[in-house]
């Protein structure tokens, strides 16, 4: 550290000495330029010496006043160079004014101004030369030590990326060229880097120029074009990094920090969802909100988005303390004006729930706590019943008893014609919600959607871990498909659906087109700069117990009606009543008390309780 400080001080001293030398030379040059002679009278010599001494004092005073010696020479730009010119013009005029005020023998205004111009030119010139020499010294390193980089985008973002690489990352990257779809820019240069072609040339250029990495540097682009360009880049099998959208775009030195790996969300190219924020805020602002399963993927995102609408208090309930602690810290850091109340507890514990409702009296309840892993629940079906069904039953009883305005159940597409215990348990939760709504002042609703990208247990994090280990990626079936939505997208629609609720609805979210899991695996491998079945093998393991090839969003007997939002629909209400539910609950209570009940008997009972449950028997995946 001391060595570095000493080097910086030495550099400043050297620049200080050079600048003094330049001031002297500039005045001599101005004299010669105007009179074409160095033969001076005694008076001229006196005036010259007086002016030079005064100039050195004033120039250095203003140079330090403008803090130019704090600049790092190799990073200086037009802004800093303008400062040098301004200092010189101010200084030369002040020299002349002081000469007049104090009646000093100094050079004429013409000589002073010309010397100021010479000083400015030379000060800027030698600093540019230093910058060029240092940069040039770096760039002459062998290209084999750097990665060949192709930049997608010749606009503002791409320009900033080039500037940042040339100023500080030139040892890491050799910028081969730029891709831009504006054909008018073809073969032009940006900061010395040539535009090589359009998106149609990406694959050919990557092959011919031996590109090692691609930077997607377009911050303002529509979803379709972004998806199409990324799909082309994906075909190259080259590592790809991307800038975020325009709303997250930070210019200048921070831009390189914004570059991130391409996520599967970028490739899927879903259009941004627009929410009616006013209605959501009216529902949430200044109210107490309870979120169960608050530490989970959906629960934690619910907490984040709810916090934006200024509730007075958020009650975070979760059985897993680590996740609960994480979301508590995050919310307290970002929303100091909201009271955050983390509570470790289970929805199975009715007495615990009653104490929470009695103490906090929540206005809205979002019930996201659930066991959701299909294979695990196939092996432990009673746990799914205890947690999902009885946990929901406890929540709705408390909501009813303590006059909660609205309770929202987070459901799943696996509740539609369920083929596994987890899906059947969630369908039973939907039935409980709809039945209770008919006899309660509380408005009970459910929101049903499919898989969310990046959630705990989702295939995307699993695939990433498998790729990091060198494979293989495991896919249960080559034709298996799933609906996908981003976590923020799903939660945003949950909040929007909540504003439409009148009670008893099952809201169904439009998940878009189903995605083949095999194709998802291939995309993730390619996005990592690797080749499927070459670098990373894909292993087909066979469908797991309770797993089906295609998920459904609507039950066959249900119809849809639209809402004010194009992505939200309402399923046809069921005719089930609370008496029927209570009979089913009695059967379930007997089941959970009998820990020795056979798996087949549990499933047979669940088929009676949830008539749409049709078991499928698949071979368990290889261990």
pLDDT over 60 at 501, yes or no: yes
pLDDT over 90 at 621, yes or no: no
Which of 58-67, 360-369, 453-462, 498-507 shows the lowest mean pLDDT across its residues? 453-462
Give the domain range for residue 237: 143-262
The average pLDDT across 210-218 equals 90
Q: What is the largest CA-CA distance in the chain?
A: 119
The average pLDDT across 589-610 equals 89
Tokens of 167: 């100023």
Q: What is the pLDDT of residue 324?
A: 95
Helix axes 78-101, 42-65, angle to 10 degrees: 130
Q: How many domains does the chain have?
A: 3
Q: Can you tell me the distance from the alpha carbon of 432 to that of 612, in angstroms, rounded to the nearest whole number?
A: 15
Measured in Å, how far apart are the chain's first and last C-alpha atoms? 54
Q: What is the pLDDT of residue 41?
A: 76
Greater confidence (250 vs 515) lies with 515
- The answer to whether position 617 is within a domain reads no
- The answer to whether position 621 is within a domain reads no
- The answer to whether position 616 is within a domain reads no
Q: Which of 189, 169, 167 lies closest to 178, judged by CA?
A: 189
Whether residues 282 and 217 share a domain: the answer is no
Q: Is the distance from CB of 328 to CB of 294 less than 8 angstroms?
A: no
Q: Which of 309, 418, 411, 420 lies closest to 364, judged by CA?
A: 309
The average pLDDT across 7-27 equals 82
- The answer to whether position 33 is within a domain reads yes
Q: Which of 351, 324, 358 lies closest to 340, judged by CA?
A: 324
Query: How many C-beta neighbours within 10 Å does residue 616 have?
Result: 13
Query: How many C-beta neighbours within 10 Å does residue 144 have?
Result: 7
Q: Is 434 helix (H, G, I), strand (E, B) or coil?
A: helix
The average pLDDT across 105-127 equals 88
The average pLDDT across 556-580 equals 78
Q: Can you tell me the distance from the alpha carbon of 584 to that of 561, in angstroms, rounded to the nearest whole number?
A: 29
Q: What is the pLDDT of residue 513?
A: 75
How large a percentage of the chain has pLDDT more than 70?
A: 88
pLDDT, one tens digit per residue, over 270-285 is 666 677 778 899 999 9
Whether residues 237 and 284 share a domain: the answer is no
Greater confidence (263 vs 59) lies with 59
pLDDT tier at 269 (50, 70, 90 boundaries)?
Answer: low
Q: What is the pLDDT of residue 143?
A: 55
pLDDT tier at 156 (50, 70, 90 boundaries)?
Answer: confident
Which of 168-182, 313-327, 382-396 shows the lowest mean pLDDT across its residues? 168-182
Question: What value does the mean pLDDT of the chain take?
Answer: 84
Tell me phi and psi for residue 74, to 5 degrees.
-75, -10
Whether residues 185 and 48 share a domain: the answer is no
Examine the fold and report which residue of 139, 167, 183 is the final residue of a domain before the chain moves on: 139
Examine the fold and report which residue of 139, 162, 191 is the final residue of a domain before the chain moves on: 139
Q: What is the pLDDT of residue 140?
A: 46
Whether residues 257 and 285 share a domain: the answer is no
Whether residues 502 and 369 share a domain: the answer is yes
Whether residues 487 and 586 share a domain: the answer is yes
Whether residues 229 and 355 share a domain: the answer is no
pLDDT over 50 at 613, yes or no: yes
- The answer to whether position 615 is within a domain reads no
pLDDT, one tens digit per residue, over 422-457 is 999 999 999 999 999 999 999 999 998 877 776 656
Q: What is the pLDDT of residue 42?
A: 80
Pairing state of beta strands 484-486 and 568-571?
Answer: unpaired
Q: What is the pLDDT of residue 256?
A: 63
Whether residues 405 and 531 share a domain: the answer is yes
Active site residue 163: no
The average pLDDT across 519-540 equals 85
Whether residues 351 and 491 share a domain: the answer is yes
pLDDT, one tens digit per residue, over 397-430 is 999 999 999 999 999 888 888 989 999 999 999 9
Q: What is the pLDDT of residue 44?
A: 78
Whether residues 19 and 123 share a domain: the answer is yes
Whether residues 426 and 332 share a domain: the answer is yes
Q: What is the pLDDT of residue 253?
A: 43
pLDDT tier at 251 (50, 70, 90 boundaries)?
Answer: very low
pLDDT over 50 at 249, yes or no: no
CA distances to 427, 570, 613 from 554, rounded to whole Å, are 12, 10, 14
Q: Is 94 helix (H, G, I), strand (E, B) or coil?
A: helix
Whether residues 321 and 305 share a domain: the answer is yes
Greater confidence (486 vs 308) lies with 308
pLDDT over 50 at 2, yes or no: no
pLDDT over 80 at 294, yes or no: yes
Q: What is the pLDDT of residue 620?
A: 40
The CATH number of whichever domain residue 282 belongs to comes to: 3.40.50.720
Q: What is the CA radius of gyration of the chain?
A: 35
Q: What is the reported pTM? A: 0.66
pLDDT tier at 562 (50, 70, 90 boundaries)?
Answer: confident
Give just the sign of the alpha carbon dihedral 203, 208, 213, 219.
negative
Q: What is the pLDDT of residue 557?
A: 46
- The answer to whether position 486 is within a domain reads yes
Q: Which one from 163, 239, 372, 414 is the annotated catalytic residue? A: 414
Examine the fold and report which residue of 104, 139, 174 is the final residue of a domain before the chain moves on: 139
Which of 582-586, 595-599, 604-608 shows the lowest mean pLDDT across its residues? 595-599
pLDDT over 50 at 255, yes or no: yes
- The answer to whether position 267 is within a domain reads no
- The answer to whether position 126 is within a domain reads yes
């Amino acid at each position: 550290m001391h060595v570095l400080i000493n080097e910086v001080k030495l550099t400043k001293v050297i620049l200080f000495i050079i600048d003094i030398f330049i001031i002297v030379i500039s005045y001599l040059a101005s004299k010669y330029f105007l009179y074409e002679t160095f033969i001076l009278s005694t008076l001229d010599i006196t005036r010259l010496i007086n002016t030079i001494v005064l100039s050195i004092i004033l120039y250095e005073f203003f140079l330090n006043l403008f803090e130019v010696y704090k600049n790092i020479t190799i990073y200086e730009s037009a802004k800093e160079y303008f400062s040098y010119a301004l200092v010189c013009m101010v200084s030369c005029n002040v020299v002349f004014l002081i000469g007049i005020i104090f009646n000093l023998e100094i050079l004429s205004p013409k000589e002073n101004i010309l010397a100021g111009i010479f000083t400015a030119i030379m000060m800027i010139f030698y600093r540019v030369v230093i910058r060029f020499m240092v940069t040039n010294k770096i760039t002459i390193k062998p290209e084999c030590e750097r990665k060949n980089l192709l930049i997608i985008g010749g606009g503002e973002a791409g320009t900033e990326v080039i500037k940042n690489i040339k100023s500080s990352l030139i040892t890491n990257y050799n910028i081969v060229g730029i891709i831009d779809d504006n054909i008018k820019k073809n073969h032009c240069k940006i900061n010395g880097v040539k535009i090589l072609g359009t998106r149609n040339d990406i694959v050919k250029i990557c092959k011919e120029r031996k590109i090692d990495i691609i930077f997607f540097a377009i911050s303002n682009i529509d979803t379709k074009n972004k998806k199409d360009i990324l799909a082309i880049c994906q075909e190259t099998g080259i590592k790809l990094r991307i800038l975020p959208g325009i709303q997250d775009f930070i210019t200048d030195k921070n831009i390189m920090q914004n570059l991130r790996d391409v996520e599967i969300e970028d490739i899927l190219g879903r259009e941004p969802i627009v929410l009616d924020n006013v209605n959501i805020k009216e529902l949430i602002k200044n109210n107490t909100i309870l979120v169960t399963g608050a530490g989970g993927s959906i629960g934690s995102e619910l907490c984040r988005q709810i916090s934006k609408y200024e509730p007075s208090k958020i009650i975070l309930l979760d059985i897993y303390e680590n996740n609960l602690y994480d979301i508590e810290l995050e919310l307290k850091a970002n929303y100091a004006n909201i009271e955050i109340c983390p509570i470790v507890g289970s929805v199975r514990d009715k007495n615990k729930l009653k104490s929470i409702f009695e103490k906090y009296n929540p206005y809205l309840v979002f019930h996201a706590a659930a066991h959701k892993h299909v294979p695990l629940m196939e092996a432990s079906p009673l746990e799914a019943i205890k947690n999902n069904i009885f946990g929901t039953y406890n929540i709705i009883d408390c909501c009813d008893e303590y006059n909660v305005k609205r309770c929202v159940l987070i459901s799943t597409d696996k509740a539609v014609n369920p083929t596994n215990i987890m899906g059947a348990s969630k369908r039973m939760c939907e039935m409980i919600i709809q039945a209770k709504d008919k006899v309660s002042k509380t408005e009970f609703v459910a929101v049903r959607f499919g898989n969310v990208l990046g959630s705990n247990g989702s295939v995307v994090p699993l695939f990433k871990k498998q790729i990091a280990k060198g494979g293989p990626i495991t896919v249960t079936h080559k034709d298996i498909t799933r609906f996908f939505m981003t976590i923020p997208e799903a939660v945003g629609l949950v909040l929007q659906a909540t504003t439409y609720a009148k009670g008893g609805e099952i809201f169904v979210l439009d998940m878009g087109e189903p995605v083949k899991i095999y194709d998802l695996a291939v995309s993730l491998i390619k996005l990592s700069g690797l080749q499927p079945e070459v670098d990373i093998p894909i292993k087909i393991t066979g469908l797991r117990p309770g797993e089906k090839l295609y998920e459904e969003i609507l039950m066959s007997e249900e119809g849809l009606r639209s809402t004010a939002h194009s992505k939200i629909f309402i399923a046809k209400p069921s005719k089930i009543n609370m008496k029927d539910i209570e009979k089913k609950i009695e059967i379930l209570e007997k089941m959970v008390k009998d820990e020795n009940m056979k798996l087949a008997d549990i499933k047979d009972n669940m088929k009676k309780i949830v008539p749409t449950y049709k078991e499928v028997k698949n071979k368990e995946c290889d261990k």
